[in-house]
Structure formats: structure tokens, C-alpha cells
Amino acid sequence: MFSFIRQLPLRQIIRPLTGQQISMVNRKTYPICVVSRSISTSDNVQNADNITKSMHKNGDTIGGLPSELVNQLKLKKASRTLSTLENHSVPIAARVTVSKDESRDFMAVFPDVVRDITEAVNEHKSSDVAKWLTRAIQYNVPKGKKNRGLLTVLTYKNLMKNETLTPENIKLAQYLGWCVEMLQCFFIMADDIMDNSQTRRGQKCWHKVEDVGMIAINDALMIENAIYGILKKHFSHMECYLDLIELFHEVTFITTCGQSLDLLTSSHDVKSFTMDKYKSIVINKTAYYTFYLPFALAMHLAGFRDAEAFRQSKTILLEMGQFFQVQDDFLDCFGNPEITGKVGTDIQDNKCSWLAVVCMQRANEDQKDIMAECYGKNDPEKVERVKALYKELGVPNTYAVYEEESYNMIKTHIQQTSRGVPHEIFLQILNKIYQRDS
């Protein structure tokens, strides 16, 4: 069980203080156990040591580096410009990258997945459908970074002792990883249709391909349901089979609830956006299936049964999911499409994004009127006006503070877990996403 003196939910961490509170904080340094993070009101990123230094005692590290060295580097980056945010150099945190062998081994299983699905369709004497679905799967499923699928495999390997790892068990983890990638594919295909997006993963969205159109809706449903055919074929003999099915159903439902809230909120005026509403969208729409699902699948396959271990893991992973989505919101607006693989449309789509919420929290009445006039409009000039307002209010620099301090906060939470899962596994995931650019 977490043993915080006072556990601070991430909602508090990213909530800006009032002007009076900021003034008070500027006059006095408070311990981490009683202070929420304040949102910077200047155009420069101020060093965050006051709020994080109590985390780093002698001998502690950040991202594998001595905390003293990291703090010196942070001081050098105290004024971090937008161009720096858009073009990261190597970040402070030690990067954890998937080896080429891991990626190759994972991809080597993909043809088996496609064959299994094709055989299942052909059992219903639907050869034309089998060919079409194969094309849809090959176009959509393997084209991304495959982080969720690879996370499933790597987590399983890290949870198991070397002597218990067999080629057969690893292949089962790879099948689960591809099931996660298929679920991700289902979500983004539907999301692209609802958002009328143009590109995804560096190519046309599936529904924008000339001979596809709205057939993509049914294709997405078929890809989702093919997950359960894979599970039945390869896991029905295992004790964890029911747990796997229930987990996929639960996370799919939670994610669609988050998607619904996202769509409903995007039909409202930007002045109604709040951080609480944003957090609900993020946790449900992104965090569960991006972080908790791959991790929990690996835990089930590895034989974990301790409910407290699952609970503690979920707490950490949902915090990472919120961290990840805030990054995604920033990249949608200020990222390089050549790196991210997509052209951001959050402003045009009236999305309740972290940038919009922080902007509205910090804006005066005239600036709020600008947001109300320009946000959610498919007009290039108005989109640029919103981005300019973000910069005027220092939102990109606030993001830099948020990213670094959230990394430190989550790292502290990881170090205070006590059941089942080694801290190093969580830290590897956190270090991988810290200061990402795509």
C-alpha cells in the first residue's frame, strides 16, 4: 500500500494557483507534502527544484543519473524556449529503447496473427471478406510504433525469471501484444472517422482511402472482434483465459466511455472546459488501454493473482497515462508532423485539451473572448491565433515545467509501491516516455 505522508493526486499537481497563492508561494518554499504545483505565469520556465528537491536525498538518481548532476542541468535549462520544446535533444532521463531484435521478433509473429484471423473468416465461407479484412489489417495494425504491444511483451519478460521463459511463453506474450495493437487500431480507426482526420501514422486514414470510405466502420468492428478469436485459439486452455477476456472487455468499455465524454465535451463552448473534466477524459480514453491494459495482461500471463499488486500497478500506470496524454496534446499543437506522423487538429475539433484548459485558466476576459471566437473553428487564421495566444500566456513553457515535475512525482510514487512488481519495470516505462517527441 502507498505510504505517502500526503498523497497528491495528479489533478492537484496540474491545477494552477490563483494570483494570490502564487504570490505567497514566491515568498516562501514549502515542503512537497503540503504543496500543489503552481503554474508559471512568466514566459520563462522557472527551475522546479523547490518543489522536487525533497524527493532527492543523497544517493538518489533521476533517470539513472545522480540527482545533483541533473539539478545542475536543470538550472542550465531554466529558460526553455518553444523551439527547444519542438526539437528535443537527448533528454536527461535515460532512454529505454526496444532493441531491433525485439521489434523484429514481434513483427515475425504478425503473419501468424493475420493467418489465424483469415482462417477464422474462411470458416464462414467468406473468402472475399477474408481478403478485404487482411488488407485492412495489414494497412492499419502494424504501421505505428507498436509501443503498447511491445510493452506487453517486455513487461512479461521482466516479470518472469529467465529460467521460466520459453519460446512458447514468449510467443503467447507476443500474441497478447498484437491483440492490444488490434484494439488500438480499432480505437484510432473509429476516432479518425469521428474526427474526420486526414492522416495517421504517415499515411492516409483508412476511411480516406479511395475505395474504402465508410466501410471502415465495419472494418474497425471486425478487427476488434478478431481479438477474441486470437484469445480463444491460443489461451482458452489457460487459467488466465477468463481474466484476459474480462480485461479486454472492461478496458474497451472504459475507453469508449472516455471517447464519448471527449466527443460530448468537444460540442461545448471552450469556456466550459475544466481540469477535472479533462482528467476524466484522459484517464478513461487513453490511460487504461495505453498503459494499464498491456501491463495487466502481462501480469495475468505471468501468473499474478494478488489484487493489491494490480491495484498499485493501476495507480502508477494511470498517472503515466495522464502524463502521456498531456504530452500528446502538446505534440498535437506544437509537434513536428514529420516526426509525429499526423497533423494535429485538436484546436479545429474543439477538443478539451490540456493546453486549452490551462490557457482558459490563465486568460483574462479579453483573451477568453479570443478563445471563444477562434477555438473549434476550421479556419487556419483562427487556429494560428489560438497558438499565438498559447505562446503569449506561456503555455508551452508551462508544459516544460509540467513534464519535468510530473516525471519526478511519478518516480516518487513508483519508489513507494511495495507489492509484487519491481520498481525498475515502472521506471523503464516512465523513462521511455519522458520528453518524447512523437
Instruction: Please identify every residue annotated as catalytic.
Output: 145, 186, 191, 195, 200, 262, 285, 324, 328-329
**Contact 164/303 with Cβ under 8 angstroms?**
no
CA distance 345 to 352: 12
The residue with cell 543523497 is: 58
Distant-in-sequence, close-in-space partners of 325: CB < 8 Å, separation ≥ 6: 282, 285, 286, 287, 354
Contact predicate 370/385, CB 8 Å: yes
Phi, psi of 195 (to 5 degrees): -90, -5
> Chain-centre distance of CA 319, in angstroms?
10
CA distance 251 to 257: 10
Alpha carbons 321 and 288: distance in angstroms, whole number: 7
Distance, CA of 263 to CA of 368 (rounded, Å): 22
CA atoms within 13 A on the CB side of 412: 22
Q: Alpha helices of 196-292 — where are they, by DSSP H?
A: 215-235, 241-265, 275-282
What are the residues whose beta carbons fall under 8 Å from the beta carbon of 205, sequence distance 6 or more?
A: 189, 192, 193, 197, 198, 199
Largest CA distance in the chain: 75
Instruction: Find the helix packing angle between 147-159 and 423-433, rounded to 10°.
Output: 160
Phi, psi (rounded to 5 degrees) for 419: -120, 120
Separation between Cα atoms, residue 327 and residue 402, nearest integer Å: 10
Report which secondary-structure segment, H or E, holds 385: helix 380-392
Q: Which helix (H) or strand (E) holds 82?
A: helix 82-86
